Amino acid sequence: MFPSHPRVPALPDADLDEHSGCVVVREILDRVGDKWSVLVICLLGERSHRFSELKRAIEAISQRMLTLTLRQLEHDGLVTRTAHASVPPRVDYALTPLGESVLEPITALMLWAREHGTDIAHARREYEEAHVEDVAN
């Protein structure tokens, strides 16, 4: 069930059957591929951040969604949470070595999106213009 391509390396999970391998990949992509996780991972790839710094840096994320995202990333071993005994309380978030290992592909995807964003917007306009007649008929 895994797509193959000559320039994409085979997955090294020979001990997984095809279905369970797909489930594992889907679950991981669901986590690291959602828009908030990508942004949090990229920011933490620069340096550790406090919650309030992440909240200010990520436009339109709610406090609840940032909390959930950080908890899920911590649960998956991608982010560490360090509470400092200070007044006021201070909590820092940083990438773990596992989190740092996913930074490269996420950064590559973000760079690709920036580079090809106008191409995709153009393709969408062309598609919509070509299919306006289909909807009208």
What confidence tens digit (pLDDT) does each residue in 29-70 have?
Answer: 888 888 899 999 999 999 999 999 999 999 899 999 999 999
In order of 43, 47, 87, 107, 116, the CA distances from 60 in angstroms are 15, 21, 28, 21, 23
Mean of all residue pLDDT scores within the chain = 86
**What amino acid occupies position 27?**
E
In order of 62, 74, 121, the CA distances from 115 in angstroms are 28, 30, 12
Q: Which of 115, 109, 97 shows the shortest CA–CA distance to 44?
A: 97
pLDDT at site 58: 95
Tokens of 19: 């279905």
Residue 31 class from Cβ within 10 Å (0-12 exposed, 13-18 middle, 19+ buried)? middle
Among 1.10.10.10, 2.30.30.830, 3.40.1110.10, 1.20.59.10, name the CATH number for the domain at 34-136.
Answer: 1.10.10.10
Q: Is residue 1 over pLDDT 50?
A: no
Phi-psi region of 77 (alpha: psi -120 to 50; beta: other; left: phi over 0): left
Asked if 3 and 22 count as a contact pair (C-beta separation under 8 A), the reply is no
Q: Is residue 107 over pLDDT 50?
A: yes
The number of angstroms, rounded, from the C-alpha of 51 to the middle of its chain's C-alpha atoms is: 18
Where are the chain's structural domains? 34-136
Per DSSP, which regions of the chain are E strands? 49-50, 79-84, 90-95
Model pTM greater than 0.85?
A: no
